[in-house]
């Protein structure tokens, strides 16, 4: 089942998501499968649970589309449950980011290149791993979602001002998008 993707402006995207207890969600694998299906349907490389209206610390990533640039990413498909970033290191670098909740807007965002992260996989196996480059980039973007942050928060005041109207339009559903979305400022029944 595909979820509709929650658009910019919905308060769920601004909430710090809560940790998941394994007993609390016995059907977590179904949720994870549905998130992958939603992500692939929208041709995304990552999707966080708040983007489908679930305020829980879960995100999924498939960065294999970047294998041309970074061959190590050929099979990079990973699920992150209850992730905590332990450390970010290196000199910040810019990368043009987009977000399925903010269609049609792409901006250069600066982040550190290496990340050390603790998380559980879909089988509740614990990992503590270090990722760099584009893998780290996608992880940092998705991790921000479970912290209630968006890439647009990281832009300069000028860039923010320049995209303000387009962000408001997205909240109202005034945007061309090929996947199903839920827009916070669209009244029900319209």
Q: How far apart are CA 98 and CA 151, in angstroms?
A: 8
Marked catalytic residue, from 70, 88, 97, 142 = 142
Q: Is the Cβ of residue 82 or residue 140 nearer to Ni ion in the bound state?
A: 140
Q: How far apart are CA 86 and CA 103, in angstroms?
A: 30
Q: Is the Cβ of residue 73 or residue 150 nearer to Ni ion in the bound state?
A: 150
99 contributes a contact to Ni ion by CB under 5 A: yes
Q: Does the annotation mark 142 as catalytic?
A: yes
Minimum separation from the CB atom of position 65 to Ni ion (A): 15
Minimum separation from the CB atom of position 101 to Ni ion (A): 6
Q: Is the Cβ of residue 49 or residue 99 nearer to Ni ion in the bound state?
A: 99
Q: Is the Cβ of residue 24 or residue 64 nearer to Ni ion in the bound state?
A: 64
Segment contacting Ni ion by CB under 5 A, of 56-64, 85-93, 95-103, 166-174? 95-103
* Residue closest to Ni ion (Cβ): 99
Nearest alpha carbon to residue 52 among 145, 139, 141: 145
32 contributes a contact to Ni ion by CB under 5 A: no
Segment contacting Ni ion by CB under 5 A, of 11-19, 31-39, 66-74, 93-101? 93-101
One symbol per residue from 44 to 83: x for binding Ni ion (CB under 5 A), - otherwise; what is it? ----------------------------------------
Interface with Ni ion by CB under 5 A: which residues? 99
Which are the catalytic amino acids? 142
């Amino acid at each position: 089942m595909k979820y509709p993707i929650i658009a910019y402006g919905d308060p769920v995207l601004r909430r710090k998501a809560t940790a998941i207890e394994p007993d609390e969600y016995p059907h977590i694998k179904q949720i994870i499968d549905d998130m992958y299906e939603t992500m692939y349907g929208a041709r995304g490389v990552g999707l966080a649970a708040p983007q489908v209206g679930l305020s829980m610390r879960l995100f999924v990533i498939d960065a294999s589309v970047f294998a041309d640039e970074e061959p190590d990413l050929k099979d990079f498909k990973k699920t992150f449950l209850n992730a905590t970033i332990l450390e970010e290191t290196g000199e910040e670098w810019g990368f043009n980011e987009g977000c399925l909740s903010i269609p049609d807007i792409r901006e250069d965002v600066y982040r550190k290149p290496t990340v050390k992260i603790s998380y559980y996989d879909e089988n509740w196996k614990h990992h503590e791993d270090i990722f760099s480059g584009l893998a780290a980039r996608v992880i940092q973007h998705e991790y921000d979602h479970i912290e209630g942050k968006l890439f647009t928060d990281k832009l300069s005041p000028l860039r923010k001002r320049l995209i303000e109207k387009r962000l408001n339009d997205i909240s109202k559903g005034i945007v061309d998008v090929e996947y199903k979305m839920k827009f916070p400022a669209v009244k029900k029944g319209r």
